[in-house]
Amino acid sequence: MTSTSNVISSDRVEGTSVYGTSGDKLGTIDDLMIDKLSGQVRYAVLEFGGFLGMGTDRYPIPWSMLKYDTSQDGYVVPLDKAVLDGAPRYADASVPEYDDMYTGSINKYYGL
């Protein structure tokens, strides 16, 4: 059954694959960071690297950069693995405070 709704549960977004524009899989969405005041998703946290979930890093990517591609059943971002190498990231066990300084560093890195 195909859904025509523009609304999706965060449970269904988490675990969705993320691809670069070249079609290479970059990782999966681990988490969503939501603005408490507006209710809008600000960042999708991409899980990338490691082996069998061990040693993986989390990369917050501005939500506005992700575009859903039905043919890939995943999100596409205008990035590749080389760009992610220098991107802001953290280990699963050390989630940073998403304060103005940290979010500013994310937005600056991606040119927003």
pLDDT tens by residue, the chain, 112 residues: 455 567 778 888 888 999 998 999 999 999 999 999 999 999 999 997 666 556 688 999 999 999 999 999 999 999 988 888 899 999 878 899 999 999 999 999 999 8
CA angle at residue 36 from 112 to 6, to 5 degrees? Answer: 75
The domain 10-109 having CATH identifier 2.30.30.240: the answer here is yes
Query: Which two structure tokens, joined as six digits, stand for 85?
Result: 């190498």
Domain ranges of the chain: 10-109
pTM over 0.75: yes
